[in-house]
């Protein structure tokens, strides 16, 4: 079964450092998403990406965040200057069509900011 | 923003028992989805619902899209140990929206 692959599985970074979280969506999917989940809380939408541009973003996705699809297979989330409150699981997801049919999520990257 | 409240927050049941959980919203959703999350993993889609009143099954799982479009329930029959996890409902407000709004989750624990 096709998978969404995320790397690394766990990243520890110092406050103020830049991090890049990487994702390889399912190859024929066209819509890409990032979500985050703070420990013990619900999954929250960050951003959706289609046709090489952001199609929707949440209030959480401020100027510190950016996304990129640098080539035909990777989809990245960059946090420019990490804060302690950015510590969370970050999930990448992809779908062939819009959210209507649900997404396929990756296993996540646990980001710990110290 | 939109809020989805799930109940109960957690459940402790014996293997073989049936499980019922639900999800309510103060506003209308056009699509309801149920996901399961196991430790260290991303959510996995269980069931998707698209029409008010729709009742859909996937093996031992049954879910319904409420008539008012403001609620949904998920039932699991004859629970087994691998049903352990956190169950999230998620809703899509409009068909043109990309984002899903997730519920607060129901943690299911099976007592042997």
Q: Quick: pLDDT tens for B68-78.
A: 999 999 999 99
In this prediction, residue B97 has a pLDDT band, given cuts at 50, 70 and 90, of confident
In this prediction, residue A99 has a pLDDT band, given cuts at 50, 70 and 90, of low
**What pLDDT score was predicted for residue A40?**
86
Residue B41 to residue A100, Cβ atoms within 8 A: no
In this prediction, residue B3 has a pLDDT band, given cuts at 50, 70 and 90, of confident
Residue with tokens 């939109």: B2
Q: Compute the C-alpha angle A87/A105/A28, nearest 5°.
A: 130
DSSP B104: -
| Distance (Å) from the alpha carbon of B91 to chain A's nearest alpha carbon | 9
Residues 26-85 of A with CB under 8 A from B: 31, 33, 42-45, 48, 50, 55-56, 58-59
How high is the mean pLDDT of chain A? 93
B90 pairs with which residues across the strands?
Answer: B33, B102
A1 touches chain B (CB under 8 A): no
pLDDT of A72 strictly over 90: no
Contacts of B95 in chain A (CB under 8 A): 98, 100
Q: Comparing C-alpha atoms, which of B59, B87, B83 is closest to residue B74? A: B87
pLDDT of B98 strictly over 90: no
């Amino acid at each position: 079964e096709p998978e969404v692959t995320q790397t690394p599985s766990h990243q520890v970074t110092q406050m103020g450092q830049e991090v890049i979280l990487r994702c390889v969506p399912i190859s024929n999917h066209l819509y890409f998403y990032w979500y985050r989940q703070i420990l013990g809380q619900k999954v929250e939408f960050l951003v959706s990406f289609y046709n090489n541009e952001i199609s929707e973003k949440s209030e959480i996705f401020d100027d510190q965040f950016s996304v990129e699809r640098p080539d035909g297979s990777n989809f990245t989330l960059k946090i420019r200057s990490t804060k302690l409150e950015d510590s969370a699981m970050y999930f990448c997801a992809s779908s062939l069509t819009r959210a209507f049919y649900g997404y396929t999520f990756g296993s996540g990257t646990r980001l710990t900011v110290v | 923003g939109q809020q989805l409240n799930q109940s109960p927050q957690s459940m402790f049941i014996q293997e073989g028992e049936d499980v019922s959980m639900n999800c309510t919203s103060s506003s209308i959703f056009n699509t309801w989805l149920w996901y399961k999350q196991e430790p260290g993993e991303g959510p996995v889609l269980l069931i998707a619902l698209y029409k008010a009143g729709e009742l859909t099954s996937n093996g031992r799982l049954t879910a319904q899209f409420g008539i008012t479009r403001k609620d949904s329930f998920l039932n699991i029959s004859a629970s087994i140990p691998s049903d352990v996890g956190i169950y999230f409902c998620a809703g899509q407000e409009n068909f043109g929206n990309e984002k899903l709004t997730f519920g607060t989750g129901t943690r299911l624990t099976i007592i042997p």
